[in-house]
Structure 1
Amino acid sequence: MGKHLDAAKAYFVRDGAGLLAGGRYALVHTRSLEFDELRPYVPGDDVRDIDWKATARTGHTLIKQFVSEKHHKILIVADTGRNASALTPSGERKCEVASHIIGAVGLITLPRSDEIGMVAGDRRGCVEIRLRRGETHIERMLHRYSQMVDDDPGAGDIVTQLEWVARHHRHPLLIVVVSDEPDIDDRLRDVLRPLTARHDLLWAMVADMPAVSAEDNGRGYDVADGRPILAADLLGERVITAYRAAEQRRRERLSELMTAQRIPHSYIASSRGIMPALVAMTGVYTRAG
Structure 2
Amino acid sequence: MSKPPFLEAELMRKLERLTIASKGRVRGTLQGKRRSRLLGSSLEFADFRPYAPGDDIRRIDWNVYGRTGKAFIRQYWDEQELTVRLYVDESRSMRFGEIGGPNKLACALRLAACVGYSALSGEDLVSAHSFADRMTATLPPIRGKGSAGRLFEYFERRLEDNSEDRIGSDDLSDAFLQPGALPRKPGQSWLFTDGLYGSGLEQTLNAFASARQHLVFVQLLSPDELAPSLSGELKLIDSESGAAKEVAIGRGVMAAYYAVLREHTESIRQLCAERGFAYLLVDTSVPVADTAVRALLSEGLLM
For residues 241 and 175 of structure 2, the distance between their equivalents in structure 1, rounded to whole angstroms, comes to: 21
Aligned to 1:98: 108
Aligned to 1:257: 271
Aligned to 2:79: 68
Q: Structure 2 length normalisation: TM-score?
A: 0.69
- Of 164, 168, 173 in structure 2, the residue corresponding to residue 155 of structure 1 is 168
SS of the aligned residue for 1:7 comes to coil
1:88 Cα deviation from its structure 2 partner: 6.2
Q: Is the 8 A contact 2:6 2:156 kept in 1?
A: no
Aligned to 1:243: 257
SS of the aligned residue for 2:7 comes to helix
For residues 264 and 295 of structure 2, the distance between their equivalents in structure 1, rounded to whole angstroms, comes to: 20
Q: Is the 8 A contact 1:74 1:174 kept in 2?
A: yes
Aligned to 1:169: 183
CA deviation vs aligned residue, 1:258-280 (integer Å, no higher than 9, x gap):
11111111111125152233223
Aligned to 1:36: 39
For residues 103 and 235 of structure 2, the distance between their equivalents in structure 1, rounded to whole angstroms, comes to: 16
Q: Is the 8 A contact 2:84 2:188 kept in 1?
A: yes
Q: Is the 8 A contact 2:231 2:250 kept in 1?
A: no
Q: Is the 8 A contact 2:219 2:282 kept in 1?
A: yes
**Which of these two proteins has the greater Rg computed from alpha carbons?**
2
For residues 10 and 257 of structure 1, the distance between their equivalents in structure 2, rounded to whole angstroms, comes to: 37
Aligned to 1:179: 193
1:104 Cα deviation from its structure 2 partner: 0.9
Return 5+ residue gaps in structure 1 as ranges.
42-61
Aligned to 2:149: 136
Aligned to 2:241: 225
Mark the CA change 1:167 to 1:96 in structure 2 (over 3 Å): closer, same or farther. closer
For residues 18 and 257 of structure 2, the distance between their equivalents in structure 1, rounded to whole angstroms, comes to: 37
Matched, 1:274 2:291: yes
1:39 Cα deviation from its structure 2 partner: 4.6
1:93 Cα deviation from its structure 2 partner: 0.8
SS of the aligned residue for 2:139 comes to strand
Aligned to 2:130: 120
Return 5+ residue gaps in structure 2 as ranges.
27-33, 41-45, 50-72
Mark the CA change 1:74 to 1:212 in structure 2 (over 3 Å): closer, same or farther. closer
Aligned to 2:29: none
Matched, 1:107 2:113: no
For residues 259 and 67 of structure 1, the distance between their equivalents in structure 2, rounded to whole angstroms, comes to: 29
1:158 Cα deviation from its structure 2 partner: 4.0
Structure with the higher fraction of residues in strand conformation? 2
Percent identity at matched positions?
A: 15
Structure with the higher fraction of residues in helix conformation? 1
